[in-house]
Amino acid sequence: MTAILDVRDFSVEFRTRSGIVHALDRISFQVARGETMALVGESGSGKSVTAYALLGLLDAAGRITGGSATLEGVELTQASPKELARIRGARAAMIFQNPRAALNPIRPIGRQIADVVRRHAGLSRRDADARAVEMLREVGIPDPARRFAAYPFELSGGMCQRVMIAIAVATRPALLIADEPTTGLDVTTQAVVMDIIQSLAAETGMATILITHDLALAAERSGRIAVMHAGHIVEDAVTAELLAHPRHPYTRRLLAATPTAAGGLADLRAIPGSLPDLRRTDLPPCRFAARCEQRLPACEAPMAWRHLAPAHRVACWNPA
């Protein structure tokens, strides 16, 4: 497997008035060409910070404090802001929840796509406009030549998300990070948006990171799942393997808290306890220990990965 993105021991902190937030602690993962990896975990586990940090979009309080992250061999942690801006436009792209807010409200949608194409591919205005219409068609917007001139307020949320996808993939990036791309959309539109992302990935070989708190969505749409808890990746496996044989107590709780088509809402189990305060200076090696029923004295020791199968690893001293 050639990794397009290779993240190793990557750490991020935020300086706040009330202390340093240890938001990511030595996370490692790889994403291969054409692969969709889901990053799942509760709110606050560090999924979005991972995305922002990789793309050089952390706010001023945040900084990368260690590790490495290479995209197509280019070290992102050492890149200048200028280089990162170039990579973001051309080689890595991100889409977010609430696409309407991310679009420019006073510029026609086709123009917004053409702007990106012109900037990065150096096309003439005419060619960029033609490419924008083509992109609108590719993401399934009906009557694309006419819709080119539409403003975001004239489109539904699902249509706006399609426009965001068109902007993101217009330069044929090697990596797409989709951060809760379907949250807030109705179920049918969610499926359409995910279908579009997946068919573009299959066509272009784009690697995709799907960030979601929804394990059911990850199960359906990813080839591999990495589970995050309090700034750590605690388990990482091929999707079918993770669902069939979850080994980390947190993954098992997340699965138990996920509604299935077969089980009703009554089967749902909330995850007891809360995430630890990431400002603590004495965070334990396992940040799940305080919530864990399988805790052992050994859990005080520094954490090490256990490789259970070639594509399944878990960071736990007492896995199920």
Q: What is the closest distance, in whole angstroms, from the C-beta atom of residue 214 to ligand ATP in the complex?
A: 10
Token pair for residue 53? 């940090």
Q: What is the closest distance, in whole angstroms, from the C-beta atom of residue 47 to ligand ATP in the complex?
A: 4
Site stretch for ligand ATP (CB under 6 A), options 47-55, 102-110, 194-202, 261-269: 47-55
Q: What is the closest distance, in whole angstroms, from the C-beta atom of residue 259 to ligand ATP in the complex?
A: 18
Query: To which residue do tokens 């890149």 refer?
Result: 79
Token pair for residue 64? 């990368």
How far is Cα 37 from Cα 220, in angstroms, rounded to an integer? 11
Token pair for residue 301? 């020791």
How far is Cα 169 from Cα 205, in angstroms, rounded to an integer? 12
Strand partners, 208: 36, 176
| Integer angstrom CA distances of residue 109 from 81, 122, 158, 207 | 27, 19, 14, 25
By C-beta, is 19 or 263 nearer to ligand ATP? 19
How far is Cα 131 from Cα 300, in angstroms, rounded to an integer? 56
By C-beta, is 57 or 202 nearer to ligand ATP? 57
Quick note: the x/- pattern for ligand ATP over 134-173, rule CB under 6 A, is ----------------------------------------
Q: Which of residues 237-296 bind ligand ATP (CB under 6 A)?
A: 278
**Count of residues touching ligand ATP (by CB under 6 A):** 17
Token pair for residue 2? 């050639």
Q: Does 47 bind ligand ATP (CB under 6 A)?
A: yes
Query: To which residue do tokens 């819709």 refer?
Result: 147
Q: Does 59 bind ligand ATP (CB under 6 A)?
A: yes
User: Nearest 5 degrees, angle CA 99-CA 102-CA 107?
Assistant: 105
How far is Cα 183 from Cα 217, in angstroms, rounded to an integer? 10
By C-beta, is 68 or 98 nearer to ligand ATP? 98
Quick note: the x/- pattern for ligand ATP over 14-33, rule CB under 6 A, is x-x----x-x----------
By C-beta, is 143 or 277 nearer to ligand ATP? 277
Q: Which of residues 204-243 bind ligand ATP (CB under 6 A)?
A: 213
By C-beta, is 107 or 280 nearer to ligand ATP? 280
By C-beta, is 17 or 307 nearer to ligand ATP? 17
Residue from 43, 80, 124, 281 that binds ligand ATP (CB under 6 A)?
43
Residue from 20, 26, 32, 44 that binds ligand ATP (CB under 6 A)?
44
Q: Does 53 bind ligand ATP (CB under 6 A)?
A: no
How far is Cα 42 from Cα 11, in angstroms, rounded to an integer? 19
By C-beta, is 62 or 158 nearer to ligand ATP? 62
Q: What is the closest distance, in whole angstroms, from the C-beta atom of residue 39 to ligand ATP in the complex?
A: 8
Residue from 5, 35, 37, 46 that binds ligand ATP (CB under 6 A)?
46
Site stretch for ligand ATP (CB under 6 A), options 41-49, 83-91, 163-171, 300-308: 41-49
Q: Does 45 bind ligand ATP (CB under 6 A)?
A: yes
**Site residues (vs ligand ATP, CB under 6 A):** 14, 16, 21, 23, 41, 43-49, 59, 61-62, 213, 278
